[in-house]
């Protein structure tokens, strides 16, 4: 399988992580793919939020659509590139949440996904960089071919993978997901499903 290029874009906004924090979190996310034998590498960039305003449970889906449109204008000429926005956390009543969206499964030749990232949970300062890495890896895996595996609580592609990780479960990219990703990257799977799914923790 050829190396999959991911363009990681840090979106600056309220409570966003710092640019120097992107690479350590990405390394944790990349490890899921490395252990599964899926070669991925990333290029990093930083932008101001194209759809400014505090992320909230009420606005997150509309913000996704807005940012997806901005990505189409800005990046769609980059063939064979999957763009992933790392966005500030969702804030509701002083509590921070991590979630994610993907514009589809097996998006080719380019795709878009996004997830929230934080170093510490706002309400109690509990570390959350590892959970942020799970969200990043999960949504990128959707873009490159993996579907949800709701019956497998060891799977990175479980809909509640972030919560499973928080509970101390070991999660990884399973054989089923590896097969799906390989089919997608070899051009034998092209679902391009346009549904949106949020996993918020």
Is residue 193 a part of any domain in this protein? no
Structure confidence at residue 76 (pLDDT)? 62
Segments forming the whole domain that contains residue 180: 4-185
pLDDT (mean) for 15-22: 92
Preceding amide of 109 cis, omega within 30: yes
Domain assignment present for residue 128? The answer is yes
Distance CA 84, CA 92 (A): 23
Is 86 a member of any domain? Answer: yes
Stretch 50-60: mean pLDDT, rounded?
Answer: 76
Q: What does the H/E/C string look like for 75-93?
A: HCCCCCCEEEEEECCEEEC
Helix, strand and coil content of the chain, in percent to the nearest 5, comes to: 30, 20, 45
**What's the total number of domains in the chain?**
1
pLDDT, residue 96, reads: 83
pLDDT, residue 189, reads 55
Residue 74: pLDDT band with limits 50, 70, 90: confident
Would 109 be classed as within a structural domain?
Answer: yes
d(CA 25, CA 138): 13
Average pLDDT over residues 85-97: 85
| In contact, 76 and 110? CB cutoff 8 Å | yes
How far apart are the C-alpha atoms of 197 and 41, rounded to whole Å?
25
Q: What integer is the mean pLDDT of 8-17?
A: 91
Mean pLDDT of 130-147: 95
**Looking up tokens 């509970």, which residue turns up?**
167
| Selected residue with higher pLDDT from 101 and 55 | 101
Residue 99 in domain: yes
Looking at the domain assignment, is residue 195 inside a domain? no
11 assigned to some structural domain = yes
Which helix (H) or strand (E) segment holds residue 137: the answer is helix 129-143
* Residue 190: inside a domain: no
State the Cα–Cα distance between residues 57 and 172, nearest whole angstrom.
28
In whole angstroms, give the CA distance from residue 134 to residue 26. 10
CATH number, residue 12: 3.40.390.10
């Amino acid at each position: 399988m050829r190396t999959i290029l991911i363009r990681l874009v840090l979106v600056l906004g309220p409570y966003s992580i710092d640019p120097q924090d992107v690479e350590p979190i990405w390394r944790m996310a990349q490890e899921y793919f490395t252990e599964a034998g899926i070669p991925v590498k990333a290029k990093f960039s930083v932008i101001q939020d194209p759809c400014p305003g505090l992320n909230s449970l009420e606005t997150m889906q509309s913000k996704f659509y807005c940012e997806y449109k901005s990505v189409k204008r800005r990046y769609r000429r980059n063939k064979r590139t999957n763009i992933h926005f790392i966005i500030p956390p969702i804030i509701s009543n002083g509590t921070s949440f991590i979630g994610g969206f993907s514009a589809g499964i097996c998006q080719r030749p380019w795709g878009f996904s996004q997830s929230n990232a934080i170093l510490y949970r706002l309400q109690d300062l509990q570390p959350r960089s590892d959970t942020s890495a799970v969200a990043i890896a999960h949504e990128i895996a959707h873009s490159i071919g993996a579907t949800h595996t709701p019956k497998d609580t060891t799977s990175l592609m479980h809909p509640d993978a972030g919560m499973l990780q928080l509970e101390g479960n070991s999660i990884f990219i399973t054989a089923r997901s590896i097969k799906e990703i390989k089919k997608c990257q070899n051009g034998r799977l092209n679902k391009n499903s346009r549904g949106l799914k949020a996993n918020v923790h």
